[in-house]
Amino acid sequence: MAVKNSSNALKVLFVTTELAPFSKVGGLGDVAGSLPKALSQAGVDVRVVTPAWPGVLEKLEAAGVKATTVKSKVYAAYDWRIHFANVIKADVNGVTTYFLNSEDYAGDMYPAQLNFWTASPFAVFCMQALELKDAINWTPDIYHCHDWTSAFLPCALAWHRHYRQTGGKSIMTLHNVAYQGVFEPYPFLDASGLEPWSFNSSTMEFYGQVNLLKGGIVAATAVSTVSPTYASEIQTYESTRELSGILYQQRSKLRGIINGLDTKFWDPNGDKSIPAKFNARDLKGKAACKKALLQRAGLDPETDAPVIVCVSRLVEQKGFDMVFNAAGQIAETGAKLLILGSGQDWIENGIAHAADMYPNSIKLFKGYDEPLSHLLYAGGDIFLMPSVFEPCGLSQMISMRYGTVPVAREVGGLRDTVFDVDRPEGGNGFTFLTCDVDGMMWALRRAVDRYNHDKDAWKNIMLEGMREDFTWDKSAGLYKEMYEDLTQ
């Protein structure tokens, strides 16, 4: 058993390509920015390694985090040359974090098109993460990898000419199985140092292509995903198509652990990005946030209408085609709909068109804006999340922390965190199962009606959500259990 602050504590290296607040694209960034701290508090000796993408070191400095350069560099032998990186060590929230700084990470964080050249930084990163132990004189018991972008690491431990000799255990956590890192095998197979036999249908080959995530799933010592419901959904063809067979095959090493939140960061009672603070005992500040939000949207700040908010990547997964197809029906309810996000053109355009059609009801804030997202969470009444699939979802939990009642589809992690108030045992939101406009409007109309006609009931639903325990405490314990299972 690991003991807190003891030299016997399990050593875990978190290998992640996103780290909030320095390099966050979505939920992975949030998890990497908060779970290690909770694990460390639970007695795990956890450290983090991540690429210093453009702007990351500047953000680190701006945040006043002291950083030092480690004497030794790390390197990766890849594509017939040695790739060096400087190792910048910093204490981020009490967790020792290594930022790898090199020309390999000078481009866009995630490539729009995946091929050998754009996938290479992720393979190089994984090999440099494997080399880190010598540079810092600290050898992890477990490499904890996340999504396809660090899936090369378990592959290397299993099939790389050199690293398969070094030993080491790995965990692959799946934050979103839709992104798999698929590209042409040549010249990757020669350039990567993987044994040629690692490219077959029971390992990383996938319909003639390399599939890094598939390789990572097969090669890792254990696999986890970010909610129990998603863990079973991904074993079905409806959810994961061709990869579902592999996940079904590997199910004995798969578990689902729900994400937590950094509840200090996402706290309406201490949030510096919102104009007024509030908590479950004193909700007055929420009305001031709603006014500020409506003003920002150019809408009447005194309106009684419920404000529906969305903060999301605008991609097919999130169900926004349902939202713009329902624009007329949403406007008819009298509610205001404010959406913050960016993503696929056809979805952005669909929402922009809906906002043009109904300027007094619908507003799109296009882009990624962290402070504005806090205002939406705080100033909204209803948080709409009609996801087609949702591995865990953090936004519904954040919204509940801020007393904004979720309307969510019963899928993945949403099913594990949002419970319909009209169940006999009550709940914290409004849910629907059918993935179409009618299904979504059925739940949304119930929410709008409840808001308009039963203020006491509404307040109780808000409080139910605000009092949920979204800390990492329980889940950090489950991760620790998984680490212990692997090392016993």
Where on the chain is the footprint of ligand ADP (CB under 6 A)? 26-27, 30, 311-313, 340-342, 368-370, 373, 392-395, 398
> Which CB atom, from 245 or from 367, has the smaller least distance to ligand ADP?
367
Q: How many CB atoms within 10 Å of residue 126?
A: 32
> Which CB atom, from 342 or from 452, has the smaller least distance to ligand ADP?
342
- Rounded Cα distance between 421 and 166, Å, is 53
CB of 344 to ligand ADP, least distance (A): 13
- Rounded Cα distance between 94 and 35, Å, is 12
> Which CB atom, from 30 or from 464, has the smaller least distance to ligand ADP?
30
CB of 421 to ligand ADP, least distance (A): 21
CB of 235 to ligand ADP, least distance (A): 20
CB of 319 to ligand ADP, least distance (A): 12
Residue 21 CB burial class (10 angstroms; 0-12, 13-18, ≥19):
middle
CB of 293 to ligand ADP, least distance (A): 14
> Which CB atom, from 153 or from 397, has the smaller least distance to ligand ADP?
397
CB of 87 to ligand ADP, least distance (A): 28
> Which CB atom, from 90 or from 338, has the smaller least distance to ligand ADP?
338
CA 391 → CA 56, 79, 94, 235, 384, distances in Å? 27, 34, 28, 13, 16
Task: List b or e across 360-392, with b for residues whose CB sees 16 or more CB atoms inside 10 angstroms.
Answer: ebbbbbeeeeeebbbbbbbbbbbbbbbbbbbbb
Largest CA-CA distance found in the chain, in angstroms, rounded: 69
Structure tokens at 157: 């431990």
> Which CB atom, from 196 or from 367, has the smaller least distance to ligand ADP?
367
> Are β-strands 307-314 and 382-385 bridged in parallel, bridged antiparallel, or unpaired?
parallel
| Cβ contact 344:317 at 8 Å | no
- Rounded Cα distance between 363 and 300, Å, is 13
CB of 341 to ligand ADP, least distance (A): 4
| Cβ contact 379:309 at 8 Å | yes
> Which CB atom, from 370 or from 485, has the smaller least distance to ligand ADP?
370
- Rounded Cα distance between 200 and 246, Å, is 13
Could you give the angle at the alpha carbon of 49 between the alpha carbons of 103 and 343, nearest 5°?
Answer: 70
Q: How many CB atoms within 10 Å of residue 107?
A: 13
> Which CB atom, from 213 or from 394, has the smaller least distance to ligand ADP?
394
CB of 365 to ligand ADP, least distance (A): 8
Q: For ligand ADP, which residue has the nearest CB?
A: 27
